[in-house]
Amino acid sequence: MLGYTYSRTFDSGMPDGLGTFPGATYFPLPGTSRADWSLSQINLNHQFTASVTYDLPFGKGKRFGGDWNGAVNAVLGNWEVDVIERATSGFPLFVVDSTNGSGVGFSWNGNNLNRPDQVGDPNKGGTVAANPTCPAPSQVHTLQHWFNQCAFVPAAPGKLGTAKRAPMYGPRFVNTDLSLIKHFPLPYEDMRLDFRAEFFNVWNHAQFYLQGGASQMQDIQALSSFGVVNGTVNNPRVIQFALKLNF
């Protein structure tokens, strides 16, 4: 079974009471409502899921191993493999400036935050013409430079920053779950014992994300965390075994 979803989710950034981060919002200042309309914290452009169940063709009554004796069939026959693959694009990243020099106290937008000015493409490495003295990374989407930090500068005193509320995305997520199931037919009608070995995140892939500064967003004043992949989410590989009686 295959499933793919393309979606775009937008909001105004006002707190939803569920703990999501709003970014630096300018509402209700006159003329700022369009500036606040941007990607939501829960936006995922791409979601792909593949689910496969396969009864291996080995054992008595199967394509291979029909002449196996009881002991061999008990070990090698009647196996099932299940795989679930899930891949999603990254969540939006909010870029803020905790040194708010605009002269406006934004008490509703997450601890009085301004936005920076965006002066270049954060998804491209190399020197930014409008910020030439900044030590720009030659390559982006690395652990130390997920985006080009030099694409953002503080807004001028008395000004609101011009960057979008959510101008870019964090790392994608890819996860594989695997189950190996051994079926043991029982000498009773419609009864079967299953042994299951289940591996969640079987390849033990790290699922990276950017924790951000004290606001838990990308703060241009928090140099040690701005643009740095410094956290993981979800679980490392988890293995569990189980017996299941089907009747």
Q: What is the pLDDT of residues 14-56, one digit of tens each?
A: 766 666 677 888 887 887 778 888 898 889 999 999 999 999 9
pTM of the model as a whole: 0.84
The first and second tokens of residue 152, run together, are 């953002």
Cα 91 to Cα 97: distance, rounded to the nearest angstrom? 20
Q: What sign does the CA torsion over 34, 211, 225, 17 have? A: positive
Closest of 168, 166, 167, 170 to residue 207, by C-alpha? 170
Side chain identity, residue 139 = Q
Q: How confident is the model at residue 210 (pLDDT cuts 50, 70, 90)?
A: very high
Whole-number average pLDDT of the chain: 90
Neighbours of 120 (CB within 10 A): 19
* Radius of gyration of the CA atoms of the chain, in A: 26
Res 110 pLDDT > 70: no
The whole-number pLDDT of residue 18 equals: 63
Q: What does the pLDDT look like over 149-189, one tens digit per residue?
A: 999 999 999 999 999 999 999 999 999 999 999 988 888 77
Res 64 pLDDT > 80: yes
